[in-house]
Every structure is written in C-alpha cells, then in structure tokens.
C-alpha cells in the first residue's frame, strides 16, 4: 500500500509528541508536516519541543522544520493536538481549506454534525459526515476523539448497555501528562491530590459519554439516556487516568455476565484488523489490587482499557475500577485509530 502523508497540528505538545512516537513505525501513515504556534514556527522540531517521551525522537522528525498552523502546505490528512484556546478557529480553517482534521481538542466534539468517535463503540457515527458536508460547506471534514477520561469511561460502559444502563457515578484520578507540558507545577501536585481540573472536565464527562453511547437515528445521534455524575482529581501519576465507577442497571445481571461482556467486547477495528487496534480492547484483571497505572497502563501498546475490582455497590448496583493511557488511548492513539477506520471506510 502507498504511504499516506500526514501532518500534525500542535506537534510540539504532549499529544503532538505521542503522535510522532506512534507514527514513527506506522504501516500506512508518514509524518511529512509539523505545525505549531508562532513561537515554534521556523525552528527545527528538536529545538521547538521539550521531548518528554521515553521513545527516541526519530531523526527525520527532529530535523524537520516546524510550520505555522495555517492551511496551505500541509497534506490532506492532519491530526490535531492543538491547545483548545486556538483549536476551534485553526481546525475550522483547515477543514474549510479541504483538510481532513482528526482532532483531540474539545471544540467541535459536541457539534451535532461532528462524529465523536471510539471506533470499537460507535464506528457508525461516521455517518454524521454526510450532514457535516451539507451543513458546513467545508471542502474538508472534522472528526474528533473524546476527552481522555471519557474514552476509558465510555469503553467500560459500552458493553453494559445490553443490561439497561441507567445511571453512573465516576470519581477520577488523572495523570499529570493530561495537563500537557509543563502542565501542573510540581510544587502543587507532588505528594498531593488536587480536586479540580479546569476546562470543564466534569461537564465533558457528563455530556460526551451520552453522545458516544448514543445511537444513529435518521442521520443524527440520539444520546444515550444514562445519567452521569463526575468528580475529577489530579494525582501525581505520569500516565494513566483511573476511574472509580458505580453503575445502576435495569436488569439483574450477575457479575460473571458483566465480566464476560467486558472480556468479549470487540468492534470494527478488531473486525478490520486495524494496525492500532488491540486484539482485546477491554481486559478484566482478577487480582484484587488491579488495575494500577504503574503496571497496566501500557497494555496493548497503551490502547487496552483495563478493569478490575467488580463488586456490589450498596448505593447503585455495581462498582469497579477502570484505567486507560490518557495520551495514547485517550488522545493520539485514539485519533490514529479513527483515521485508520476512516481509511478503511473510504473517507480519507
Ligand atoms: N494530554 C492529554 O492527555 C490529552 C488527552 C486528550 C486530549 N487532549 C487535548 O489535546 C490538546 C493538546 O493537549 P496537550 O496536552 O498536548 O497540550 P500542550 O502540551 O500544551 O500542547 C499544545 C500545542 O498547541 C500548540 N499551540 C498553542 N497555542 C497555539 C497557537 N496560538 N497557534 C498554534 N498552535 C498553538 C502548542 O505549540 P507551541 O509549542 O508552539 O506553543 C503545542 O504544540 C488539547 O486540546 C487537550 O485538551 C490532551
């Protein structure tokens, strides 16, 4: 297969770096363009970024010049890890100019004509692109992936829809890499727990989850009716967002059926054998003290969600713990999987 050229908007950031690391050996996509702010434009990538990943920065990318985030010179397919303060305007300009923008930012996620995708859960929401073409008059398109907690949460809840998912409460323990680089000051987060994350984090969890779990009806998404309550915290963990979750279900499902639903859960990426798809998207761990970020976050190349500690909840019906890699399954890896699905569906 001929290589598909890709660009990265926000290439110098935390998510941008993860794109570069994941795409270094990608069988279909090759990075040929890097965009960031005026602060970085004109510099070689290695001088514009503070590389934070254990993976080596590939030589060709290190030497590549960073461009301003304006459409024109980038290839048709562009991944975006732009700061949300500028993503709305810049991603819109790229879509208008004919680019396919596969975005991590929150700006377009809840727009009615923009797919908010987790390919295992709602691959059929790509149908919204028809409405987007009609409504926007853009030559290109925008597709988004969810907030980094929502990916983990929605994947854990999706297999429970068959039991009549009624309501759910989530308390998160979120890694510092979720705040970008340099992110939260070490003085604030070391040996501490911060019970607040800015940018409307709780509201995102309480709205994006319903859209993702929703069903396509007459060309639009009908949101899932589950009621969600979220409380978020930042904890001194490098990578991996953990959620302590309770659910209430309409049916009387036993624990074995729930674990079976998680372990057997598969979607379009597994059917199609997409390069970034983990063989088993959700793995239930039976050890009583798992999942843990230090031990489990990199399963399936960071694309597997691990769940454990399923037990009865005296308030709702069941409670459990779920974990996922926030910059891979929750950001760059999610966007790459979206683009792989779009390629297979003839949408690139
Ligand atoms: N980190 C996560 O776990 C995570 C997960 C899911 C989604 N997200 C979302 O992904 C996006 C990026 O997050 P991050 O953690 O990678 O943030 P980050 O480390 O702060 O990186 C932000 C990027 O945006 C660029 N940028 C800032 N202002 C700009 C401007 N005026 N014009 C063009 N580019 C500009 C920066 O370029 P310069 O270096 O040139 O300033 C940098 O490349 C955010 O929208 C975030 O909410 C993050």
In angstroms, what is the span from residue 321 Cα to ligand 1's centroid? Answer: 28
pLDDT at 314: 98
Which atom of ligand 1 is nearest to 49's Cα? 39
Instruction: Give the pLDDT band (50/70/90) at residue 242.
Output: very high
Task: Give the pLDDT band (50/70/90) at residue 120.
Answer: very high
Mean pLDDT of the chain: 97
Residue 27 has pLDDT above 80, yes or no: yes
Percent of the chain residues topping a pLDDT of 90: 98
**pLDDT at position 2, please?**
81
Residue 243 alpha carbon to ligand 1 centre in Å: 24
Residues with catalytic function = 148, 241
Q: For residue 226, is pLDDT > 90?
A: yes
pLDDT number for residue 219: 95
Atom of ligand 1 nearest to the CA of 69: 33
Indicate if the pLDDT at residue 1 is higher than 90.
Answer: no
Instruction: Using pLDDT thresholds of 50, 70 and 90, give the confidence band for residue 80.
Output: very high
Ligand 1 binding pocket (C-beta < 6 A) is 10-16, 36-37, 39-40, 69, 81-84, 86-87, 104-106, 148, 177-178, 180-181, 326-327, 330-331
**What's residue 315's pLDDT?**
98
Rounded to the nearest 5°, which phi and psi values hold at 29?
-100, 135
CA dist 112 → 90, 138, 158, 211, 242 (Å): 19, 15, 20, 9, 29
Rounded alpha-carbon distances, angstroms, from residue 264 to 116, 212, 306: 23, 20, 13
Residue nearest (by alpha carbon) to ligand 1 atom 38: 37
CA 136–ligand 1 middle distance (angstroms): 25
Q: Specify the residue with its C-alpha closest to ligand 1, atom 25.
A: 10
Question: With 0-12 CB in 10 A as exposed, 13-18 as middle and 19+ as buried, what is 123?
Answer: buried
Which of 18, 68, 81, 183 to mutate for ligand 1's pocket (most ligand atoms within 8 Å of CB)? 81
State the distance from the centre of ligand 1 to the C-alpha of 12, rounded, in angstroms. 8
pLDDT attached to residue 185? 96
**Gap from CA of 342 to ligand 1 centroid (Å):** 24
Model confidence band, residue 283 (pLDDT cutoffs 50, 70, 90): very high
Closest CA to 84 of 147, 161, 177, 175: 147
Atom of ligand 1 nearest to the CA of 87: 45
Residue 61 pLDDT greater than 90, yes or no: yes
Q: Is the pLDDT of residue 26 over 80?
A: yes
- Per-residue pLDDT for 261 more than 80? yes
> If you average pLDDT over residues 90-101, what whole number do you get?
98
The pLDDT assigned to 93 comes to 98
* Digit-coded pLDDT (tens) for 164-211: 999 999 999 999 999 998 999 999 999 999 999 999 999 999 999 999
Instruction: Locate the ligand 1 atom nearest the alpha carbon of residue 11 and give its number.
Output: 43
**Which pLDDT value is given to residue 167?**
98
pLDDT in tens, 309-342: 999 999 999 999 999 999 999 999 999 999 999 9
């Amino acid at each position: 297969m001929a290589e598909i050229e890709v660009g990265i908007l926000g290439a110098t950031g935390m998510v941008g770096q993860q794109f570069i690391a994941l795409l270094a050996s990608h069988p279909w996509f090759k990075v040929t363009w890097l965009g960031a702010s005026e602060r970085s434009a004109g510099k070689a990538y290695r001088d514009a970024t503070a590389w934070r990943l254990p993976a080596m920065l590939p030589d060709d990318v290190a030497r590549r010049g960073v461009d301003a985030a304006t459409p024109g010179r980038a290839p048709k397919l562009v991944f975006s890890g732009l700061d949300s303060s500028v993503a709305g305007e810049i991603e819109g300009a790229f879509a208008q100019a004919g680019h396919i923008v596969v975005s991590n930012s929150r700006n377009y996620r809840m727009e009615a004509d923009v797919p908010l995708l987790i390919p295992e859960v709602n691959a059929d929401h790509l149908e919204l692109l028809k409405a987007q073409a009609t409504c926007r008059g853009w030559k290109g398109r925008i597709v988004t992936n969810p907030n980094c907690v929502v990916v983990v949460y929605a994947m854990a809840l999706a297999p429970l829809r068959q039991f009549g998912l009624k309501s759910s409460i989530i308390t998160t323990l979120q890694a510092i890499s979720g705040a970008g680089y340099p992110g939260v000051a070490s003085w604030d987060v070391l040996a501490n727990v911060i019970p607040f994350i800015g940018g409307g984090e709780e509201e995102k969890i309480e709205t994006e989850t319903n859209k993702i779990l929703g069903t396509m009806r007459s060309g639009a998404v009908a949101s899932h009716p589950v009621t969600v309550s979220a409380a978020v915290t930042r904890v001194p963990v490098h990578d991996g967002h953990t959620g302590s979750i309770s659910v209430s279900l309409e049916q009387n499902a036993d624990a074995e059926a729930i674990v079976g639903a998680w372990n057997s859960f598969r979607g379009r990426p597994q059917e199609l054998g997409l390069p970034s798809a983990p063989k088993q998207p959700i793995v239930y761990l039976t050890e009583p003290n798992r999942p843990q970020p230090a031990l489990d976050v990199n399963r399936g190349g960071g694309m597997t969600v691990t769940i454990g500690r399923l037990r009865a909840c005296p308030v709702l019906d069941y409670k459990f713990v779920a974990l996922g890699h926030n910059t891979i399954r929750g950001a760059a890896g999610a966007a790459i999987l979206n683009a792989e699905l779009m390629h297979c569906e003839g949408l690139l």
